[in-house]
Chains A and B, each alone.
Chain A
Amino acid sequence: MPTAKALIIFTALAFTPLAAHAQYSDGVIKIGVMNDQSGTYADLSGQGSVWAARKAVEDFCKASTCHDKIEVIFADHQNKPDVGSNIVRQWYDVDKVDVVVDVPTSSVALAVNNIAKEKNKVFLVSGAAASDLTGKACTPNTIHWTYDTWALANGTGQAIVRTGGDSWFFLTADYAFGHALERDTEAVVVKNGGKVLGKVRHPFPAQDFSSFLLQAQASKAKIIGLANAGADTTNAIKQAAEFGIVQGGQNLAGLLVFITDVHALGLKTAQGLIFTEAWYWDANENNRAFAKEFGAANKGNMPTMVQAGVYSAVMHYLKAVHELKSDADGAAVVKKMKSMPTDDKLFGKGSIREDGRKIHDMYLFEVKKPEESKGAWDYYKIRATIPAAEAFRPIDQGECPLVKK
């Protein structure tokens, strides 16, 4: 396995003494990419995120010569908070990892968030969605990078209502994440003058959505909001196609959809789907160049916003650590990261707020019809851009204890 070999090489390198120009803990800047390597979220994060982190290290060292050893290791949390917290504890305590990156699945991210604070290390979240990470659960050691439930709800909900989708029916996964997504989106819909005609909670996870879709059809709402994720979303979309929902004049709004989900569904089934994302590989030249290299190393798959977020986060982390000349104090590094404006080739210019929220534009996408697509992975057309200032929850509404009133 190439990755295991790389791991061994990196570990061997770690033991070589080096003349450090800075005092890095243990003499090495160690980056740990933890995500789902084998389950539902493996495609949107997985090895792709590891590649993105390594690419960020490579690009950073090309731009400003690295005198120091930088290592990237990875682990699979299997979407389980106990596995994840176990790994991170060991990483921080025994393996001297300085920063943990990615971590999709909000329950795991929340657990890691606590541990990072406890041990005063750094946590850069790209994969997880829970907006509580910059709200009630915010810490001085965590930065929430790519997206969150509020941004998704706001982007999708607001943009859809403003473009005519003013009556909604929610299909919600019956667990905390689904409820949060539904709550946030409903608030946005109502605020923008829309109506919620009904909602139904489906068990999590669910295989068969036929009866819930039937209820959605009967409601005659213009938009059926899918407050769920992963296999639930793709299953619901698949079965909606079967029941002729889109043909019947209703539209589906995915509240958490990734390009890998669209790829799994196929354009025929996913066409017309509307959702918000933070990054698309085909949006500009920089993104396309990155995607091309990514594809060559990752079986032809295109990078998702999560993986792009990992690149951006690692890049900024390295810049901050190099200016500080130290990586030992997690809170200090994060403070430095917040004080520096961000700028990388994927997300452009942005900033990080006091509550740990990274700010950048969000985009409303619609999935193309099969005949509109010019090739593999050419899936999205852009419907709207949500400027950074409006895209994320206002800082005073989050109940983050770090934010001074």
Chain B
Amino acid sequence: MPIGRNWSMNVFVAFVLLALVAPFAIYPVFLMNVLCFALFACAFNLLIGYVGLLSFGHAMFFGFAAYISGYAVKAWGWEPLLGIAAGMAVAAAMGLLAGAIAIRRQGIYFAMVTLALSQMVFFFCLQAKFTGGEDGIQAIPRRPLLGHIDIRNDFVFYYVVLLIFCAGFLTIYRTIHSPFGQVLKAIRENEPRAISLGYAVDRFKLIAFVLSAALAGLAGATKAIVFQLASLTDVTWQMSGEVVLMTLVGGMGTVFGPIVGAAIIVSMQNYLSGFGEWVLVIQGIIFVTTVLLFRRGIVGEMLALVNRYGPASRQDHLRLREARPAE
């Protein structure tokens, strides 16, 4: 491959250096927002880009973990990292349950199943006492990290969030570039062949699903502490649609695509916060144009440009599943 692992690592180091100085110029809360969604998108991308499964219900992991961590920190007085870990654990458990049901199906059916499961979670959150319903869990305190570090200062907390993001990102990176990741790739390219080679395909898919759910949960749980709020918005199917959009725009199946996509979409929402419905319209337009013309997403297109004459550039879409077999 013309673009090797070292290149990816270099880009990542550059990104981290940039991120270390960013809060001096840009509002730290905005940056933390971007980081949380970037992690969410990376987790989602793990599933679609490397396993070929489009989950339309990822908000259930993101949002429910936010509720768990928020409640643990606010009502039980837990330390933030512990609360975030709790959120992540619950999301992983949900991933196991949801995955067990959803993995039986593929492609569109899989998407529909995840959508409906996340709707169940939404309605549960709507009614459950602990979530506070429409109000959500508000005024989640930023208790001292590890008992000592005061994170009420946005500037200080930013670096903590950056650390969490890097941990999550590197986990995904390690997974992709491991033997496990290779098997996932094989499953995505040609599942029957992988089965015939003796791999327990369903188990691999389930593990990937749980990992993706856990990391999405990590993102959500962190976000709850950042904004000191966990609300229903985070478990709606529209939120699931947003993370799909971010990954699509950035580049499905690329390593950095989701980060770029998250940064763009969050910035757009921020900039257009006065014009609610235009945000919807513009997101819709971005969806449509990206699907029709820029399926590889921004990072994907850039990679294709660099690899201009390589085999990757000719394929302008992800082979998620065999389309109608050509006769």
Contacts and interface: CB of A to CB of B under 8 A. Distances in A.
Interface string A166-180: 000000001111000
A119 to B, nearest CB: 12
Interface stretch (B54-62, B94-102, B133-141): B133-141
A87 B231 contact: no
Query: Does more than half of chain A's interface fall in helix, strand or loop, or is it mixed?
Result: helix
A110 B138 contact: yes
Given A85-B227, A107-B134, A90 B274 contact: no
Interface stretch (A75-83, A238-246, A268-276, A286-294): A75-83
A107 B131 CA distance: 12
B277 interface: yes
B139 A114 contact: yes
A76 B33 CA distance: 18
Contact of A76 (B127, B138, B154, B276): B276
Interface residues of B, number: 27
A176 B249 CA distance: 37
B242 interface: no
B273 A111 contact: no
A86 B227 contact: yes
A83 to B, nearest CB: 7
A3 B154 CA distance: 32
A81 B29 contact: no
A332 B272 CA distance: 33
A101 to B, nearest CB: 15
B277 A81 contact: no
Interface in A75-104: 75-76, 78, 80-83, 85-87, 89-90, 93-94
B275 A82 contact: no
Contacts of A87: 273
Contacts of A174: 126-127
A227 to B, nearest CB: 14
Nearest to A204: B126
A38 interface: yes
Contacts of A80: 231, 233
B185 to A, nearest CB: 36
B132 interface: yes
Contacts of B127: 174-175
Interface in B260-301: 270, 273-277
B30 interface: yes
A158 interface: no
The 3 closest A-B pairs by CB, nearest first: A38-B276, A76-B276, A38-B277
Given A36-B276, A76-B274, A203-B123, 8 more contacts: A80-B231, A81-B231, A82-B227, A82-B231, A87-B273, A174-B126, A175-B126, A177-B133
Interface of B: 27, 29-30, 33, 123, 126-127, 132-136, 138-139, 154, 227-229, 231, 233-234, 270, 273-277
24 contacts: A7-B274, A36-B276, A37-B276, A38-B276, A76-B276, A78-B276, A81-B135, A81-B136, A81-B138, A82-B227, A82-B231, A83-B233, A85-B227, A86-B270, A90-B29, A111-B136, A111-B138, A114-B138, A114-B228, A174-B126, A176-B132, A177-B133, A203-B123, A204-B134
